Structure 1
Amino acid sequence: MIRLKYRGALPFVREFGERLGDALAPYRNETPLLVPVPLAPSRLASRGFNQAWELARVASRRVHLPASAHVLHRERTTASQRRLSRDERRRNLQGAFVASERVSGRRVVLIDDVMTTGATCDAAAAALKRAGATHVLAAVVLRTPPAP
């Protein structure tokens, strides 16, 4: 995942995205909308791609579910989470995400690459729920041990 995220090794997207799609197959009948965790514009510009969106696109094709990178966005740029504690991560992400009302009445699967404390998924899910999503499920490729 580090090679994908920080070195642009996009061939890994297919493997990770297909596995993610396979894990989402049981939810097909619920027809959720797959929504990637958005990057801050500055990070997107420097990286050149959003790994969560690339994963969501592959998973979407794999299980024939709709996906959109346009219903959740970052309201503000946040500090990198890598070296922050659980509480610092939560504070860092307060008010960071805003969702479109196009999720109103929808079931949403929030897609991200890695989960450590869950702070990013919690903040993004809260924004989706405020916008009217009826249910939000987080789906991640990797789970790491939480930071202290």
Structure 2
Amino acid sequence: MTLRTFAAAWRWTPGTACHICTSWQRDAVCSACRRRFRPIGHRCRCCAVSLVGLNEVCRRCILRPPAFDHALAALDYAYPWDGLVTRFKFGGACELAGPLAERMTEALQTAAAQPGFVQPDVLLPVPLSDARQRERGYNQAWELARRVGPALGIAAQARWVERVLDTPHQTGLDREARMHNLRGAFAVPAAGRAGLPGRSVAILDDVMTTGSTAQELAATLRRAGVVHVQTWVLARTVSDDAAP
């Protein structure tokens, strides 16, 4: 072997350890893990909770329909995705935004091919308060939205809705406590009041637990003149009692 061919054979190529199985390859989450941990089954079309059987709507949404029209979730908030979402959300692992956004995009492209899918006019990430964004360094919902939106040909707007109350963390609170915690938390500034009336909107967030955040935000958007509201989340807890 000549020196040239030896150097070519050992040339370093960029790579990373898969965040799930730790195998060394080019993607933050390897293709084998994406296939292995792909969610199976179907979800409530209103709140995206996993369903057993052939029902399209869960009992809770039949009794108390949410303020949003439809919900889609890419993943279950369960192993291994729960750990990745936690690191992305609380651990400063912003490098996971790309691979997690890819999982959302794949799921949404599949949903878009189904009958009855409504293509939203605009994508709105759930906003953080100023204090919470300073604490984390970024808004994880925006990091997803600014990647998912262009991939689907939908404008993502970060300034059409804002969080005006810095509410306590939702972790550990039940549905009623979460709703009380979020009351009046969101507002639509001038840019949103000009751009939202008559529009179809998708709210984008990282995790849905009880749906209380989406419920309050959807109600705020309805008052601003939005005619159709969907909720798109990266991960949905297996049940409403499983808090991230």
Bucket of the pairwise TM-score, normalised by the shorter protein: over 0.9
Amino acid aligned to 1:60: G
Match of 1:20 among 95, 104, 109: 104
Are the counterparts in 1 of residues 202 and 232 from structure 2 also a CA contact under 8 Å?
A: yes
34 and 77 in structure 1: CA distance in 2 versus 1, 3 angstrom threshold = same
Q: Which residue of 208, 215, 229 maps to 1:115?
A: 208
Query: Does the Cα contact within 8 Å between 2:197 and 2:224 map onto a contact in 1?
Result: yes
Give the Cα separation in 2 of the matches to 1:56 and 1:114. 13
Q: Secondary structure at the match of 1:108?
A: strand
User: For the residues of structure 1 that align with 2:202 and 2:120, how far apart are their CA atoms?
Assistant: 10
8 Å CA contact 2:101–2:148 kept in 1: the answer is yes
The whole-number CA distance in structure 1 between the counterparts of 2:224 and 2:212 is 19
The separation in 2 between residues aligned to 1:140 and 1:29, in whole angstroms, is: 16
Deviation at 1:18, TM superposition (A): 1.9
Structure 2 residue identity aligned to 1:117? T
Q: How far is the alpha carbon of 1:106 from its aligned partner?
A: 0.8
Question: Alignment partner for residue 75 of structure 1, among 149, 159, 164?
Answer: 164
Measured in 2, the distance between the counterparts of 1:57 and 1:86 equals 29
Equivalent position SS for 1:30: coil
Q: Which has the higher contact order (CA 8 A, sep 6+)?
A: 1
Q: 1:64 and 1:111 mapped to 2: Cα distance? A: 15
**How far apart are 1:119 and its partner, in Å?**
0.1
**Deviation (angstroms), 1:62:** 1.3
Question: Contact conserved, 1:22 with 1:62, CA < 8 A, in 2?
Answer: no
Give the AA of the match of 1:115: M
User: Max radius of gyration: which structure?
Assistant: 2
Structure with the bigger percentage of helix: 1
Name the TM-score, length of structure 2 as normaliser: 0.58
Extract unaligned runs of 5+ from structure 1.
none
Alignment partners' CA distance in 2, 1:87 and 1:31: 29
CA contact (8 A) 2:120 2:202 kept: no
How many matched pairs?
148
Task: Note the alpha carbon deviations across 1:37-88, whole angstroms, 9 max, x for none.
Answer: 0011100011110000000011012112100010110121111100111100
TM-score, length of structure 1 as denominator length: 0.93
Give the equivalent residue in structure 2 for 1:146: 240
Contact 1:84/1:147 (<8 A) preserved: no
Q: Which runs of 5+ in 2 are unaligned?
A: 1-84
Maintained 8 Å contact 1:35/1:68 = yes
